[in-house]
Amino acid sequence: MNLLLQGRQKGVLSNEGAFLLCMARKLYSEGLDLRPPSAFIIKSRLHHKRIVAMHVSDILAQKGVTIITIHDDALLTTAIDILRSKKIGALVVINAANQVVGLLSERDIVWTLADAGSTALLAHVRDVMTEHVFTCRPEDSIKEISAWMTRHRVRHLPVVRGGELAGLVSIGDVVKHRLDEIETEASILRDLFIASH
């Protein structure tokens, strides 16, 4: 059976994976020796190794679920101090009832200062924050979230579980884990290719 078709039927090949496999076949046809010392070891690894799609919950498990919030009536200067001291790029904004009402990012602050000058530093967070906040769920796949954040130019997404705030992920978190996922996929494709020759 064609290796590319076989890989797709087993559910281990994506479009990126298919491209990598084609490149590997080309390199092999040009004489590059991709074989390891023992083909038996590779086949044994393939028997147990499968690509498992990564989810938002995997990001939270690695980075932790510490959520730094700020009240909507706080001054912008207070928010800036928190962002700097915590070395983060955004704050989840809550009201007096501890309900999420917005998101304050570095971009919100920069744009406000560009429009209003230094007087904006005395503004309240609720006057600067982004009110309409997009959210995601722990079970959402990182691949889908990555495409969605890129398409809508969103840099931070609060994670909501059962109507309650469960964490915050950034585009940096998503890209890092997406690269890890692709690297795992490439490793499996390399093993598939080697084991088939």
The pLDDT tens digits for 138-181 are 999 888 888 888 888 888 888 988 878 889 998 888 888 777 76
pLDDT(34) > 70:
no
Compute the C-alpha angle 51/54/183, nearest 5°: 55
pLDDT(137) > 80:
yes
Q: pLDDT grade, residue 19 (50/70/90)?
A: low
Q: What is the pLDDT of residues 39-98, one digit of tens each?
A: 433 344 444 445 557 889 988 988 877 889 999 999 999 999 999 999 999 999 999 888
pLDDT mean over 9-23:
52
Specify the pairing of strand 90-94 against strand 69-71: parallel
Residue 59 in 3-state DSSP?
helix
pTM exceeds cut of 0.85: no
- DSSP-assigned letters across all residues of 92-109: EEE-TT--EEEEEEHHHH
Provide the residue ranges of all domains of the chain, joining segments of one domain with +.
Answer: 3-53+182-195, 56-176
Homologous superfamily of the 56-176 domain (CATH):
CBS-domain (3.10.580.10)
- Please give the pLDDT value at position 173: 86
In this structure, the dihedral spanned by the alpha carbons of residues 40, 192, 10 and 13, taken in order and rounded to 10 degrees, is: 160
